[in-house]
Structure 1
Amino acid sequence: MNTKHSKRRGTGKLSAAVGALFVLFIPPVAVAGDVEGAKLPPMLSEADFLPFDEKRAALGRLLFYDPVLSGNRNISCGTCHHHTLAGADGLALGVGEGGDGIGEKRTTGTGRDRIDRRVPRNAPALFNIGHKDIRHLFHDGRLSIDNLYGNGFNSPAEEYLPQGLSSLAAAQSLFPMTSETEMAGHSEENAIAGARNDRIDHAWRLIARRVSAVPAYGPLFADAFDDIESPADITIVHIGNAIGDFVNSEWRSYDSPFDRYLAGDRAALSSDAQAGMDVFYGRGGCAACHGGALLTDQDFHALALPQFGPGRTRMFDLMQRDVGRMVETDRLEDAYRFRTPSLRNSALTAPYGHNGAYATLEGIIRHHLDPQTAFDRWSRKEVALPAAEHLAEADFAPLADRRERLRVRSVVDIEPVSLGDDEVRQLIAFIHSLTGAESVKGRLGRPDEVPSGLPVD
């Protein structure tokens, strides 16, 4: 849904400082056809995804929903990536450790368990992250395939990320477990959170020991991994690889009306969706950033999205903000740029933006048409945040900072495009045509119970 791409052309005073383009090489692919001269993407197939082991995926499903992986045993991966919410949580900014419930009914907790900070960024859905072309994850791309540290990945854990992780999804699964706001909790509350403050891999060792102490897990791990003879052999690598195989195999989605259209069924799209496709691949310029089979260029772009919430700050930042890709690279030219999301199934995974700034597809599309004007007009009413009176002032502190507002507003990588109301409506119809059928439910689904015996969200 991006408008005409301007090749990192910043507008305003920061344009000279933030003009560089960080390019991810994506191999050329065959195309399925043309829309008014624009190339349509190739069809997805099972061959485009990483292999997985069936027994490990089944084990990963249990681990994914088991709160035993969290510091206080009160939240799981599935809490914020739930099957009933298309692998997301339905919130602008998540409520992690200490909250209660799922989706819009999730509360910020009470008493000593009350959260003191929201999760800094929106919880993305997990569709198709097992695709072979995926090269980095997280909104700022801080996890990527790279052997810089000798373990196959460039990650926040650097050389302390263990060797043997089989995929990006496997590596990614380990980081929420050590996040204070997501799953670990505070250091005074449990040993895992305390160990994380010493060194991140110390926390992972404790998590593995905790899992190995659950009697029902031992046989499952031994059956799924050839190098496990007893529960004492279970490591965080086994846990990550099991979850990675589950995620890689669970949410593979390429059975949408758009996919049927690419396969030759020209009746698969409604007239509005076809008109929206023409806008998307034509004068709307959306495919400049949302191209390819996954409908993302996997690059980083600045859209002047209004900033709120705690943000993901750098260690030496003295203010509440989120500078996006710059958090990872420390390069000024990467400031306020965030990874382009895939649009597949996006009609199911509102809110939109790295911080969920828009509750509706129409809202985020209209923002793309004229980001700076939309920034000026944006209202807090767009945001779906569970009520928390004690966080109310901090939630919107970045918007109250005049200089930070100017910085965010000044960096925009897309040029305004004028589309009529009918064209916006047609674009929305096309986005809905990217919604899968049976695939959106997941392959194995949510378990009713987990080996630890803890409640399943």
Structure 2
Amino acid sequence: MKKLIKGLLWVLGGLLLVLAVVVLIVGLIPVPKDEAFDPAEYGAGSSTIQPSYTGLQREFPAINGEVTPEKAELGKILFFDPVLSAQNDISCAHCHHPDYGFADGLPVALGEGAQGAGPQRSGGTALARNTISLWNVGYTQIFFWDGHATSLEEQAVTPLTHPDEMAADPEALATELAALPGYVDLFKAAFGDDHITPSRINEALAVFERTLTSNDSPFDHYATGEVDALTASQRRGLNLFRSAATRCFECHAAPTFSTDSLRVIGVPDGEASTQPFKVPSLRNVVLSAPYMHNGSLATLEEVVEFYANAGGTAHGIEGVDPFVLGFKMTDQEKADLVAFLYALTDESAMPETPSAVPSGLPVVEHQTNPARDLVTAFNPGTAIVNAPPREPQTFTVQPGERIQAVVDQAQAGDTILLAFGTYHERVVIDLNDITLLGIANEAGDWPTMDGEGVLPEAVVSSGNHFEVGNLRVVNYTSTGILVEGATGVHMHHMYAENTGIYGLYPVRSTDVLIEDSLVIGTRDAGIYAGQSEKVVIRNNEVYGNVLGIEAENTVDTEIYGNHAHDNTMGILVVLLPNLTSKVNLYTKVYDNLIENNNIANFADAGTAAAIAPPGSGIALIGVDYAEVYNNTIRGNKTAGVGVFDLAIAFERDRINVPTRPEFNRIYDNTFANNGYEADAFVAELGIPGADILWDVSGVGNQFNEAEATTFPPALPSGKWPGIFYTAYWQILNFLMGML
């Protein structure tokens, strides 16, 4: 018997030794980590430059390469010379005609064998895509509709060498140019010697294209404070452009009115209908009709109608970008939006077309673009001098008076007070250093801005150092208070109810403080801070919303002292794809009361908010280095705290940001009665409700909550040795993969 027991002990010891070796080996396998972004590439916060007269004056990004006058001159001559094509019959300017916004005015480009230039071009090989304008390509990082080139030099290669386009042999072209004395001199001036190579040809073309800058439009003058640089219709159109209803600004952000991203908008085009395409700049867009990757929309009016109808969704196309949701507009509003697009026109940097080129071949001729006459009709063309500076003043608006009329005569530093009463108005504030405050009556009631279920926002501001408070905003269709691209935002003592998508909404802003406010009944987030940095959200109450508080793609956010109850989800900290900001870092959520967030989700279909499962207290999705501590979290039927990979909500092939939640810490919270009836979204994944849910994604996450119910049943804490954490992570992910 002793021998048998001894033998069993040896076997058991051997098994434990084998298990220990397996754990050791597994623990040495690195946990996958997301690639970290350089802080300069975060993309969060305000892009406003200081000092400026209005918050709309933004700093352009750096030019994407070197520019010298000599190389630009050489590149210009090459651009207009048909010698670059194999048959000496096509120049770059044939398809990128200067009179048509450096596009061609055709639905799709015509290549080899075609005759003529610009919209007069005909015959030959029809290419697959519409010709993209070259204005402001110097600010771009991706090129072609599918974004496959990452520099102008790389971009130049395709049209020069593609057999359906210019069909040149690079070495033969270099030899041909070297036989022309004019080019020998130009290359020597540009590069210091007369050696002509394909790479130098590409470089010279790229340098010339970088000089095609458009930054002195009526909008740019308006951004510097010339209020009358835009017509009343164009100002209304600008407000629509940056509203939370249309969301145009999400993809076409100032100052370039573009983003280096690819989006699926669903333009009907067979298999290409679901393909993501580059977001083009809207600078000089009125000169380059027709529109979209296949040129299928002839006018800007048709483009607006397409987006108003939710893009490709109206044509049964799936996977359309979540920002293309559709919106309602009157005919006047559509006209105003188009009028604003005309205000983005500026050809002041138009290069002079050479009268002759060294090859002696004919250069494209000037053409009449009818759109230029419309530009003249739409744009006032007057330069207004700013009012002389004065000491800051305080204005008081009385019921029956228009708030906007007072705002329009204000200057930076002024305070605008609203006497107690009700105002049916939408107010736009583009000045810096403006304070907008309500005056309470004797009973302590604040004045009310009431959109009557018709107006989109109560207040839209882009001014730096903007303060708004002591106001009720109710019955707006899109947003209560929207602040975009500002530095220094203070919202306080606000009551927002039934304001559409959002209540209080700072986006792409820096140094944001939202406090002492109550938000009720929004169909997305009651308090939303998006793509912003240095944000504080404190001492607010939010209920009856889909999301009580949301910190989306933010950096350095603190959320504390808030009461989030009876929403679908109490607090969401999330990293979403396809936005300017590519990170969500360093969020702290503490000292909040998060309870009974169990109401049905009533978000608009197709939005990210529509995914939120009812019964969620706090969710961290795809975020890094967040801390959740000292909160009281109770009565949330699905989970108290959830930590998830972004892929739980989005298909991986549509995600352009790191997806894993990493190095997050959950500790010292008080939990009670969470996870008692998990929503189907979670239950169907085989995950039971609990105080804490983790999908076992991401490295470095710690859960120091000994008394909490959890899934998985054991969660790594700060006391776990690193090798044990890694082994546990690897084993759980293996098992979940098997399931």
- What TM-score results when the alignment is normalised by the length of structure 2? 0.41
Cα distance change on mapping 1:70 and 1:48 into 2, 3 Å: closer
User: Residue 272 of structure 2 corresponds to which residue in structure 1?
Assistant: 322
Shift of 1:66: 1.0
Pick from 326, 329, 333 the counterpart of residue 419 of structure 1: 329
Residue 340 of structure 2 corresponds to residue 340 of structure 1: no
Residue correspondence of structure 1 range 23-422 to structure 2 within 5 A = 26=43, 28-31=45-48, 40=56, 42-44=58-60, 50-108=65-123, 115=124, 117-131=125-139, 134-144=140-150, 168-184=151-167, 192=168, 203-226=169-192, 228-229=193-194, 233-249=195-211, 251-282=212-243, 283-307=245-269, 321-322=271-272, 335-371=274-310, 376=315, 409-413=317-321, 414-422=324-332
Query: Which residue identity lines up with residue 338 of structure 2 in the other structure?
Result: I
CA distance in 2, matches of 1:298, 1:342: 10
Alpha carbons of 1:215 and 1:372: their partners in 2 closer, same or farther (altered >3 Å)? closer
Aligned partners of 2:109 and 2:131 also within 8 Å: yes
Query: Contact (CA 8 Å) 2:47, 2:59: kept in 1 or not?
Result: no
1:273 match: secondary structure: helix
- Please state how far the C-alpha of 1:260 moved relative to its aligned partner: 0.4
Aligned-partner SS, 1:292: coil
The aligned counterpart of 2:616 is none
| Letter of the 1:370 counterpart | N
One-letter code aligned to 2:330: G
Q: 1:301-349 CA distances to partner (integer Å, 9 max, x unpaired)?
A: 11111217xxxxxxxxxxxx537xxxxxxxxxxx511111111110111
**Partners in 2 of 1:260 and 1:206 — Cα distance?**
48
* 1:82 CA displacement: 1.2
Q: Which structure carries more relative contact order (alpha carbon 8 Å, separation 6+)?
A: 1
Alpha-carbon distance between aligned partners in 1 of 2:144 and 2:208, rounded to the nearest angstrom = 18
2:354 aligned to which of 425, 441, 447: 447
Superimposed CA distance per residue, residues 55-94 of structure 1 (whole angstroms, 9 cap, x where no aligned partner): 1111111110111111111101110111122211001101
Judge conservation of contact 2:110–2:126 (CA < 8 Å) in 1: yes
| Conservation of the 8 A alpha-carbon contact between 2:218 and 2:344 | yes
Identity of aligned residues (%): 33
TM-score computed with the length of structure 1 as normaliser: 0.65
Structure 1 residues not aligned, in runs of 5+: 1-22, 109-114, 145-167, 185-191, 193-202, 309-320, 324-334, 377-405
Structure 2 distance, partners of 1:58, 1:373, is 43
- Residue matched to 1:156: none
- What residue number does 1:430 align with? 340
RMSD: 2.5
The Cα shift of 1:30 comes to 2.8
Deviations for 1:356-400, whole angstroms, at most 9, x for unmatched residues? 111100001110111457864xxxxxxxxxxxxxxxxxxxxxxxx
Letter in 1 for 2:47: A
Q: Retained in 1: the 8 A contact 2:246–2:326?
A: no
In the aligned structure 1, how far is the partner of 2:314 from the partner of 2:60? 35
| AA at the equivalent of 1:446 | T
Displacement of 1:50 after TM fit?
Answer: 4.6
Maintained 8 Å contact 1:362/1:428: yes
- 1:130-153 superposed Cα distances (whole Å, 9 cap, x missing partner): 12xx22111111012xxxxxxxxx
Q: CA deviation at 1:241?
A: 1.4
Q: Deviations over 1:428-448 (max 9, x none)?
A: 011011111523xx1x32111
How far apart in 2 are the matches of 1:49 and 1:174? 17
Secondary structure (helix, strand or coil) at the match of 2:146 reads coil
Instruction: Describe the shift of the 1:275–1:32 C-alpha distance in structure 2 as closer, same or farther (beyond 3 A).
Output: farther
The secondary structure found in structure 2 opposite 1:177 is helix
Please tell me whether the aligned partners of residues 265 and 312 of structure 2 are also in contact (alpha carbons under 8 angstroms): no
Cα distance in 2 for residues equivalent to 1:374 and 1:445: 44
Q: One-letter code of the match for 2:131?
A: A
Report the CA distance between 1:26 and its aligned residue: 4.0
Q: Which amino acid in the other structure matches residue 172 of structure 2?
A: L
Q: CA shift at 1:119, angstroms?
A: 1.4
Following superposition, the deviation at residue 287 of structure 1 comes to: 0.6
- The secondary structure found in structure 2 opposite 1:121 is coil
The amino acid across from 2:353 in the alignment is R
Which runs of 5 or more structure 2 residues have no equivalent in the other structure?
A: 1-36, 365-739
Contact 2:237/2:338 (CA < 8 Å) preserved in 1?
A: yes
Structure (1 or 2) with the larger CA radius of gyration: 2
